[in-house]
Amino acid sequence: MAGIIQPKVLKGFRDFLPQMEIPRRKLIRALEDHFTSYGYVPIDTPVLEYAEVLLSKGGGETDKQTYRFNDHGGRDVALRFDLTVPFARYVAAHRNELSIPFKRYHIGKVWRGENTQRGRYREFMQCDFDVIGTDSAAADLEIMLMMAAGLRAIGAGETRIRFSHRGLFNQLLEKLGLEGKTAEVLRIVDKIGKIGAGEVRILLGELVGKEETETLLDFITPAEDNRETLKKMAALAWSEEKDGSAEVRIKTILDAVEKMQLHHNLVLDPSITRGLDYYTGIVFETFLDDMPSLGSVCSGGRYGNLTGLFMKEPVSGVGASIGLDRLMAGLEELGRIDNAASGTDILILMLDEALLARYQILAHGLRQDGLAAEVYPENRKLGAQFKYAEAKGIPLALIVGSEENEAGTVNLKDLGSRESFNGLSFEDARGKALEILGK
């Protein structure tokens, strides 16, 4: 006989107990319903892919964190570390099978061998949604509106979307002759929320001249309202050769949200850059009004070429990604997660094993009226059965012993108020149950 193996999970990985998995599944289903109501369709891709496909961008940090190995056939494979690269590969592979413009969502786990000391998980859930095959302002607007409405739908309350446009930022860098330092400047500016303007001034000063530093700082500082901010951004980035399309795009979005009276949800914030070179148009981050300290729970932007690694014709689009684990943690802290231990409405107690069929028939009848009903599986003491109901948060019990069975009646007990309703017909008990549960 072999020894006992420790039932432990890997660092950074988690088991989900029912009281966490139930709200997680609810959240995912609410998001699925939300995306469907906007015409977005679900896709799925393999968890495991050729390493060449996933790592072709060669991002240093990502490469190091990716779970990569050789499979039985000696293939160099890896676990996906995000849902963006698989989506690019998917679009390239199926471009003739998709309706373009293509609106999709994808909810799934991804894996990164990150340092768990920073409270990060190595297995976590992402939720991505994109519209590809169009460069329109309508798509930009829709992604941001859908995001805000989605967060509202799952109980996260009101949100503030901070957005900007990479086109204007790049225009400014060009004007300042800094286009060769784009990546570094972006990286520094992207940190402003964490390190503050003072620190950003110091870091920029080490990279570019004093005057350029001040111009950059001026540019990334919002004015008193969106219109003023846009005016300042446009003026600083202005140059004769440019067509002003970025300015027009921002204006179109501001016009629309004002008409929809949603302008309080959208803040033009030129310090938002989203680091990555990948983005070419609008970029945004989303903060919960009730918990801005949580950081951005949903970020994204417009890209000019999603599929560059896999096909010649560029495919542009706009999309965003929700970090579901961070969002869940935030909702839990805000007390917005209902940690139900089960979805059961009514427990049918087992008083007599000979009544097995009767209990199952009763349960079946209750389910037909939309009540979640379960039969306690053993003839144990009533105390144990009530304790089970309490642990699972079950509000009602149906009690039928041999006496009630012969009389053709049932007893219903409200486990919250401890009130009993005895000698009822099944129909009356079912009606009473629906009434107590407010169904």
By rule CB under 8 A, what string of x and - marks binding of each residue 360-379 to a second copy? xx-xx--x---xxxxxxxxx
State yes or no: residue 415 binds a second copy (CB under 8 A): no
State yes or no: residue 104 binds a second copy (CB under 8 A): yes
State yes or no: residue 359 binds a second copy (CB under 8 A): yes
Helix ranges, 260-381 (H): 324-333, 356-368
By rule CB under 8 A, what string of x and - marks binding of each residue 37-56 to a second copy? xxxxxxxxxxxxxx-xx--x
> Which residue of 145, 172, 282, 412 would you call a contact of a second copy, by CB under 8 A?
145
State yes or no: residue 21 binds a second copy (CB under 8 A): yes
Q: Which is nearer to a second copy, 16 or 419 (CB)?
A: 16
> Which residue of 31, 81, 83, 111 would you call a contact of a second copy, by CB under 8 A?
111
Minimum separation from the CB atom of position 423 to a second copy (A): 23
What's 133's DSSP letter? S
Nearest to 388 by CA among 399, 376, 400: 376
> Which residue of 70, 245, 422, 425 would you call a contact of a second copy, by CB under 8 A?
70
State yes or no: residue 391 binds a second copy (CB under 8 A): yes
Q: Would you call 78 exposed, middle or buried from its count of C-beta atoms within 10 A (0-12, 13-18, 19+)?
A: buried
Nearest to 356 by CA among 377, 327, 382: 377
Residue 399: both structure tokens together: 């009690």
Total residues binding a second copy (CB under 8 A): 115
E strands present in 251-400:
266-268, 279-288, 298-303, 317-323, 346-348, 373-375, 396-399
CA 379 to chain centre: 44
State yes or no: residue 410 binds a second copy (CB under 8 A): no
Q: Which is nearer to a second copy, 142 or 285 (CB)?
A: 142
State yes or no: residue 408 binds a second copy (CB under 8 A): no
State yes or no: residue 138 binds a second copy (CB under 8 A): yes
Q: Which is nearer to a second copy, 200 or 348 (CB)?
A: 348
Which 3 state secondary structure label does DSSP give 280?
A: strand
> Which residue of 30, 62, 63, 113 would you call a contact of a second copy, by CB under 8 A?
113
State yes or no: residue 29 binds a second copy (CB under 8 A): yes
**Cα–Cα distance between 301 and 313 in angstroms, integer?**
20
By rule CB under 8 A, what string of x and - marks binding of each residue 314-353 to a second copy? ---------------------------xxxx--x--x--x
State yes or no: residue 61 binds a second copy (CB under 8 A): no
Residue 265 sits at φ, ψ, to 5 deg, of -80, -20
Burial readout 119-143 (b: 16 or more C-beta within 10 A, e: otherwise): eebbbbbbbbbbbbbbbebebbbbb
